Amino acid sequence: MESKKIDLNQTVHTLCTQYPELIEILAAYGFRDITNPAMLMSAGRFMTIPKGAALKKLDLNEIIQILTEKGFSVTGQERIQ
């Protein structure tokens, strides 16, 4: 089985295009606007998961843990401080 890789430096739009199941995963954690296709096509084109987490005051480490539990390999967080 191929590993699903998420680079936190990529935009939400790019990641959700590559892995459509991310929409429901992220929406359940607090990114509710992601289910609106217009928001995904507009804000999602410049928003990253870390930027969105900061904006919504969500714990990025919890998001990474959830994604890991869902079978994703998460990279890029070492650049976020």
Task: Express each pLDDT in 21-72 by its tens digit.
Answer: 999 999 999 999 999 999 999 999 999 999 999 999 999 999 999 999 999 9
Residues 76 and 63: their CA atoms lie apart, in Å, by 13
User: Does residue 3 register a pLDDT over 90?
Assistant: no
Residue 1 pLDDT > 70, yes or no? no
**pTM of the complete model:** 0.88
Tell me the torsion sign for CA atoms 9, 22, 38, 28: negative
Spatial CB neighbours of 4, under 8 Å, sequence gap ≥ 6: 19, 71, 72, 73
What does the pLDDT read at residue 81?
Answer: 44
Question: What is the band of 2 on the pLDDT scale with cuts at 50, 70, 90?
Answer: low
Pairing of β 72-75 and β 4-7: parallel
CA distance 59 to 12: 16
